Amino acid sequence: MSGCAPATSRIGRVSAKTFSACSSSSLGWEVADAAALDQLAARLETAGVRVERQPKALADARRVQELIAFVDPLGNRLEAFHGAEIAAEPFRPGRAISGFRTGPLGMGHVVLTVERVEDVLWFYQDVLGLRLSDYMLEPFKIYFFHVNPRHHSFAVLETGTNGIHHLMVELYMLDDVGQAYDLASREDGRIAATLGRHTNDFMTSFYSRTPSGFLVEYGWGGRSIDPDSWKAVEMTHGPSLWGHERTWIPADQLAQAREMRGRAALEGQRQPVQVIEGNYTLAPGTCPWWDATRKVGGS
């Protein structure tokens, strides 16, 4: 999968294959160049992580120049590469969507589900060097990390099991997300979390189930941050400002999530939509009421 302008479209972003189980999956990280790849390999080896240089055939299959592979403390296969191949032709989607917001923000984000977050935080934070965006302890424990201005490219969620929880892709236009929600809603059991909006990256999204069991989050309007000045905090208002009724969480967490969203509504928790040039039109006119609301609410 690839998006953005033709000059920066990648040939390979996501590949899907038929496996008997999703344990054969791997997650790829891009570094700047060959020197950066060598530095990462050295850092991993110093930390006691075995690094394998991958054959050219696999690099060719991934459409990258050079590739290393290693596993995280839970056995998840990770790859790092440089020199992603650029497509000569613009991305042509299978359905008439506006396209995926990628480019310097990367593919989107991936969330791992883990037995205990403490087992992996040190690896992703201290060895791989991902930077903490924020974290939540309720209604479930989750830590978010960034590697570029996207609020999070990666997160680890504590559920008691290990694997891939979800993959997020971001669309340019909100209507793409609403129309996909309609399409997914036609199938019983396909929706894993209803349409909603996140408290931390402000993404409006829904989650659907894939045949492999993990989820795909389809979203619009994610915020960008300044990685150099960003300060990580604990988020205490739950994962969603509204919506995102999660069918995959236990009943006690579901009740707590509903209670937190109820509190967010009572308190008037809200955030401006995050737009990019070309996907919004500024409505004319303001009124004293709205001007006063903006001053009080800061939004």
- In the complex, the smallest distance separating the C-beta of residue 173 from Fe ion, rounded to whole angstroms, is 19
Q: Does 168 bind Fe ion (CB under 5 A)?
A: yes
Residue closer to Fe ion by CB (options 30, 217) is 217
Smallest distance from Fe ion to CB 109, Å = 6
Q: Quick one: 39 or 247, whose CB is closer to Fe ion?
A: 247
Q: Using CB under 5 A, which of the segments 67-75, 112-120, 211-219, 275-283 binds Fe ion?
A: 211-219
176 near Fe ion, rule: CB under 5 A: no
67 or 196: CB nearest Fe ion: 196
Least separation in angstroms between residue 28's CB and Fe ion is 18
Q: What are phi and psi of 237, to 5 degrees?
A: -105, 15
Minimum distance from CB of 166 to Fe ion (Å)?
A: 6
In single-letter form, the type of residue at position 61 comes to A
Nearest Cα neighbor of 156 from 128, 193, 191, 194 is 128
Site for Fe ion in 7-36 (CB under 5 A): none
- The reply to whether 217 sits near Fe ion by the rule CB under 5 A is yes
Could you tell me how many residues make up the chain?
A: 299
CA–CA–CA angle 220, 299, 141 (5° rounding):
55
CB 184 within 8 A of CB 208: yes
In terms of CB distance, is 40 or 106 closer to Fe ion? 106
Q: Which residues bind Fe ion (CB under 5 A)?
A: 168, 217
